[in-house]
């Protein structure tokens, strides 16, 4: 009998439980060498090219593009005896679906069936040529069955025509891509399964903004953003609050060995939160440089799976859009996330009680109540505010603990 080797859906990260088979790179009967890319997997975080583990002939594809498969599910079978003939025919049948010749959404298939329209004659406008509902509608497939023809009857007397009703306005239905479906489900699970609570505080960053302007005026230095200061303040504060550097894992609390901070950024396929690592002893410039490198990879779509793993906390900043605040959802696998808005001019009393115009940053800390209690969260957030309000201390390394 032919020697078959199964290739399964890989586990590409600690929190990954399933992935989307986004694209096939091979077909049954193709010869592949070890290291050749055979398919692409999308998770809610990243796309990954999966390579053939051995030399062989593709015997069977066990899933279609767009299928969501659990980790460990068989994706492809390879013949490893090097005989291309009858490779596809001799493969052992499996229970998983065979890829369809025509890729179409369920709604598009129903509309085509009702209209008696052959999907093979419809050009798809969706990802990788997927046929969408609007593609069928454009070919006259409204989804309503055609009325049967009746014999002609004598014409009745002509009556006045009633007012013509306006044509109904139809909503536009947008199909989700595989990445969007998985991300939406993961966020829904996070909001449902993680017991969120929220703590709010305001930080006076008037001095921080002046310091930032001064430092950014120096040539040849890394550019500092408000996010640079926030990430550095979080990392510095976590040194004194190890209980905040914990996550919920396998019904236990895991305290992380390093201080890492996730940075939410808009990538080519949506929002991701790559992790900037080992910031416990970093200066402000070092935090900014590390964050800049990770964010650049995210925006270019070049993140690796390990870039999205680890860390107990992330930052999500909407200040650049003019929004004054945000209450974010915790990223699965972490225990908190800090929402940051735009600085707002606010009058505050000085030491003599006189009103002084200051720049105030609104912060919202979302916490996992299984890991963090309200008192700890409140103390931690106030400590972060103190770090931001005395931002010059972030220019030096933290003092070594005796």
Catalytic residues: 369
Please tell me the number of Cα atoms within 13 Å of 76 on its side-chain side: 31
Sign of the dihedral through C-alpha 49, 50, 53, 54 = negative
Q: What is the DSSP letter of 236?
A: H
DSSP 87-101: HHHHSPP-SSPPPPS
CA 130 – CA 133 distance, rounded (Å): 10
CA 46 – CA 272 distance, rounded (Å): 8
Residue 35: exposed, middle, or buried by beta-carbon count in 10 A (0-12, 13-18, 19+)? exposed
Residues 172 and 189 sit within 8 Å (Cβ to Cβ): no
**Inter-helix orientation angle 374-389/206-216, to 10°:** 50
41, 104, 182, 192, 236 from 19: Cα distances, Å:
6, 20, 8, 21, 35
Q: What are the structure tokens assigned to 148, written together? A: 């049967």
Residue 122: exposed, middle, or buried by beta-carbon count in 10 A (0-12, 13-18, 19+)? buried
Is residue 265 helix, strand or coil?
A: strand
Number of H helices, E strands in the chain: 8, 19
CA 364 – CA 201 distance, rounded (Å): 7
Residues 82 and 55 sit within 8 Å (Cβ to Cβ): yes
């Amino acid at each position: 009998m032919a020697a078959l080797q199964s290739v399964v859906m890989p586990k590409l990260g600690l929190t990954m439980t399933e992935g989307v088979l986004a694209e096939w790179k091979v077909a049954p009967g193709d010869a592949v060498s070890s290291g050749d890319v055979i398919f692409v997997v999308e998770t809610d975080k990243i796309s990954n090219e999966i390579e053939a583990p051995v030399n062989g002939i593709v015997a069977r594809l066990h899933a279609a593009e767009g299928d969501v498969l659990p980790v460990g599910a068989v994706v492809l079978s390879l013949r490893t005896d090097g005989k291309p003939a009858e490779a596809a025919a001799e493969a052992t049948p499996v229970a998983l679906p065979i890829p369809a010749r025509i890729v179409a959404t369920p709604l598009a298939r129903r509309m085509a069936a009702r209209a008696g329209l052959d999907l093979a004659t419809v050009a798809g406008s969706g990802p990788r040529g997927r046929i969408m509902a609007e593609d069928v509608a454009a070919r006259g497939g409204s989804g309503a069955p055609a009325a049967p023809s009746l014999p002609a009857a004598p014409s009745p007397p002509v009556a006045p025509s009633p007012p013509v009703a306006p044509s109904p306005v139809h909503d536009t239905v947008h199909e989700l891509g595989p990445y969007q479906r998985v991300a939406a489900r993961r966020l829904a699970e996070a909001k449902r399964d993680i017991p969120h609570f929220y703590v709010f505080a305001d930080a006076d960053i008037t001095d921080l903004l002046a310091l930032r302007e001064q430092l950014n005026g120096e040539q040849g230095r890394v550019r500092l953003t408000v996010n640079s200061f926030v990430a550095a303040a979080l990392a510095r504060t976590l040194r004194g609050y190890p209980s905040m550097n914990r996550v919920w894992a396998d019904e236990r609390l895991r305290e992380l060995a390093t201080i890492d901070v996730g940075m939410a950024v808009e990538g080519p396929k949506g929002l991701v939160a790559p992790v900037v690592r080992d910031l416990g002893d970093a200066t402000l410039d070092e935090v900014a440089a590390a964050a800049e490198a990770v964010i650049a990879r995210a925006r270019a779509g070049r993140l690796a799976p390990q870039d999205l793993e680890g860390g107990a906390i992330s930052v999500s900043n909407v200040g650049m859009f003019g929004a004054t605040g945000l209450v974010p959802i915790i990223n699965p696998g972490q225990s908190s996330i800090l929402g940051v808005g735009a600085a707002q001019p606010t009058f505050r009393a000085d030491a003599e009680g006189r009103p002084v115009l200051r720049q105030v940053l609104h912060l919202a800390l979302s916490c996992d109540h299984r890991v963090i209690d309200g008192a700890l969260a409140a103390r931690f957030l106030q400590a972060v505010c103190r770090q931001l309000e005395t931002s010059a201390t972030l220019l030096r390394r933290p003092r070594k603990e005796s």
